[in-house]
Amino acid sequence: MIGKQKICVFLIVTMLLFIITGCSAPADPDVEISIEKDAMLEEHITITGIKDEGLVITVEEIQALNAVKKEVTSVNSSGEEKTFSVTGALLEEILVKQGTSQKDLTGIRLVAGDGYSIEVPKEILDKRDILLVYEVDDAPLGPKEKPIRIIIPEERAMYWVSNLATIEILETIEQAETNKIIFLETVKETISLEDYPYYDSTDKAIKTQALLEQLEGDTSSQSIYIKAVDGLEKNETFPIFKEAYIKVTGADAPAFLSPDMPKGMHVKDILYFSHASTAWVSYDQTKEMIEIKVLNGHEGILIEEILKEIGVKKEGTYILTAIDGYTIEVNGSDLKNGILYEGEEGQLSTFFEGLPKNTGIKGLLSIEAKTN
């Protein structure tokens, strides 16, 4: 009897010890300290570019702001719609407390913990509510969405950044005027292509670094503008862009992507992208946007129309360069009489009505406004 009681007491004492210490392993002082630190480090986001040190705001502080509840509908890439109700605070309330306002900003970049990021341009900042959401359908956010999910009602779900870490207030960047366009269909013949696995196929891609190396040190810009055929426009940061690829064959080409980048940051069916004063253009995709014309039996698009679409508007002389280095100079006013078409072997070719035959280029690589 006594023996049994002793065992019972021993069990109760050890059980109590288990409960008090929380675990069976001997307490490791380092572990205990880090647990304590984690508990102190509340869930928060950081806003940079507003104060020198960056502004840290906890979720608790966000929940103490005026709560806004809204029904929102997201549309995913396959056109499927999902409606839910979200609760959060307005970014504007935080900005106003800091003595600024969405309308005073030229852009913000939303950066997530999982590597996703996106720039929200001025046009959206000027007219939309930006919600810092902490509840969806009256339930707290899931682990992949915590600590805050951005929702911008009426805008594409690509702006609805989950797992928000940082809001970067961007400084005004002077968008350089484009004065040179390079055709992707031709440049891909001059650069070594890498195999790029894409779903069930293996396509070919150009490392963006290889394109940038051809720029001859034009580093006047720190961002890349990308425009897709469906109208999607995006600014990507230089550090993100230069680690990525342009897939130039197969489905969705040309596409901006990288195996290390969240899929939502990929851009399919690119019309063109530009950096500093250079734009890389897909002839195949411009054909989707611009009226097809026939000139002297050649079916293609007018060169003037391409330049207009890309926003090249310099007057004066243009230099057209072929893949083999052959160049011609053409007066800007003649570009409306010039057509760009695919030659018999698929090479981009030009024909100018009323100009000498030597203006017919095979394998057109670039068109550049002559600086004088």
Residues in the site for ligand MTE, rule: CB under 6 A? 76, 112, 114, 116, 157-158, 160-163, 262, 264
Considering the complex, state which of residue 234 and residue 275 has its C-beta at the smaller distance from Mo ion: 234
Q: Among Mo ion, ligand MTE, none, what binds residue 59 when CB lies within 5 to 8 Å by partner kind?
A: none
CB of 43 to ligand MTE, least distance (A): 15
Largest Cα separation within the chain, whole Å, is 117
Do residues 335 and 303 lie in contact, with contact meaning Cβ atoms separated by under 8 Å? yes
| Nearer of residues 121 and 264 to Mo ion, judged by Cβ | 264
| 114 contact, one of Mo ion, ligand MTE, none, CB 5-8 Å limit per kind | ligand MTE
Smaller CB separation from ligand MTE, 166 or 317: 166
User: What's the CA gap between 159 and 167, in Å, rounded?
Assistant: 12
- The pair phi, psi for residue 111, each rounded to 5°, is -120, 130
- 300 contacts: CB under 8 Å, gap ≥ 6: 287, 292, 293, 339, 340, 341, 342
**Of 58, 167, 155, which Cα lies nearest the Cα of 102?**
167
- The residue count for binding Mo ion (CB under 5 A) is 2
Q: Tell me which residues in 251-270 interact with Mo ion (CB under 5 A).
A: 264
160 binds, among Mo ion, ligand MTE, none (CB under 5 to 8 A by kind): ligand MTE
Q: What is the Cα–Cα distance from 132 to 54, expressed in whole angstroms?
A: 18
As measured in angstroms, the least distance from the Cβ of 276 to ligand MTE is 27
Binding partner of residue 273 among Mo ion, ligand MTE, none, CB cut-off 5 to 8 Å per kind: none
The per-residue DSSP string of 241-253 comes to HTT-EEE-SSTT-
Closer CB to ligand MTE, 110 or 323, in the complex = 110
Please report how close the Cβ of residue 151 comes to ligand MTE at its closest, in angstroms: 10
Rounded to a whole number of angstroms, the minimum distance from the CB of residue 232 to Mo ion is 10
98's contact among Mo ion, ligand MTE, none, with CB below 5 to 8 A by partner kind, is: none
**Distance from the Cα of residue 51 to its chain's centroid:** 25
Shortest distance, CB of residue 118 to Mo ion, whole angstroms? 10
**β-strand partners of 6:** none
| Cα–Cα distance, 329 to 367 (Å, whole number) | 10
Question: Interface with Mo ion by CB under 5 A: which residues?
Answer: 158, 264
